[in-house]
Amino acid sequence: MISPSKSFLIILSAPSGGGKSSILTELIKTNPRVDYSISYTTRAPRGEEQNGIHYHFVTEDEFFARKEQGDFLETANVFGRWYGTSISYIRSRLDLGRHVAMDIDVQGAAQITHTDVPRVKIFIIPPSMQILRERLIKRGTDSMQEIEKRLRIAHEELKDIPDYDYLVINDDLHIAVQDVQNIIAAEEHRVSRYHSPAQEFLGETHDD
């Protein structure tokens, strides 16, 4: 019998306010094969954020001790704070045949491109800069000065779009989530992601 295709990382990047956390929340709820990679960060929790759920909130000392031990698949400094993805968590989930979705910036995504970890990279973007600005203002969590800074960074991040595999326009959340689900389904069906489909179909044993 043909076994399910190999699991992979689902890397989502978007400008701040691009809507990736809403997409991720829906994705985790609706796709039973996807787990979420909780990042480590040195920034302080905001609002309702909880340690171990939204992030692992750590001191700079702990962050760099982990980095020294080789605990991170990638790290990046974003808005002056450190962020990192736990390699042990990712390996453990991929080994169980589960996909791991993550919300990381363009610097982190670029670092993962240089590893052998199977992945699909998706860039999420609102329909226009004007809409991004309106969403950041409506969110009400940042000062106008901070919003202008985020928009300037967004402008820079757009330059990395060619390094991604897919682009999802987040106009309607429901459609954007469906687009991401469709990408995952297409990736699962790539011939290269299967183990040895012909041999498995024929019932032949193989070393893998």
- Rounded to the nearest whole angstrom, what is the least distance from the CB of residue 7 to ligand 5GP in the complex? 19
Shorter beta-carbon distance to ligand 5GP: residue 25 or 199: 25
Sign of the torsion angle spanned by Cα atoms 40, 17, 158, 125 = positive
Interacting positions 107-166 with ligand 5GP (CB under 6 A): 107-108
The alpha carbon of residue 18 and the mean position of all alpha carbons in its chain are separated, in whole angstroms, by 13
Among 17, 19, 84, 126, the residue binding ligand 5GP under the rule CB under 6 A is 84
Taking the complex as a whole, the smallest distance from the CB of residue 23 to ligand 5GP amounts, in Å, to: 12
Question: With CB under 6 A as the contact rule, which of the stretches 82-90, 143-151, 167-175, 177-185 interacts with ligand 5GP?
Answer: 82-90
- CA triplet 53, 73, 108: central angle to 5 degrees? 85
Return the residues of window 22-81 that contact ligand 5GP according to CB under 6 A: 39, 43, 74, 76, 78
* 170 is a contact residue toward ligand 5GP (CB under 6 A): no
Nearer Cβ to ligand 5GP, position 76 or 94? 76
Residues of this chain that bind ligand 5GP (CB under 6 A)? 16, 39, 43, 74, 76, 78, 83-85, 103-105, 107-108
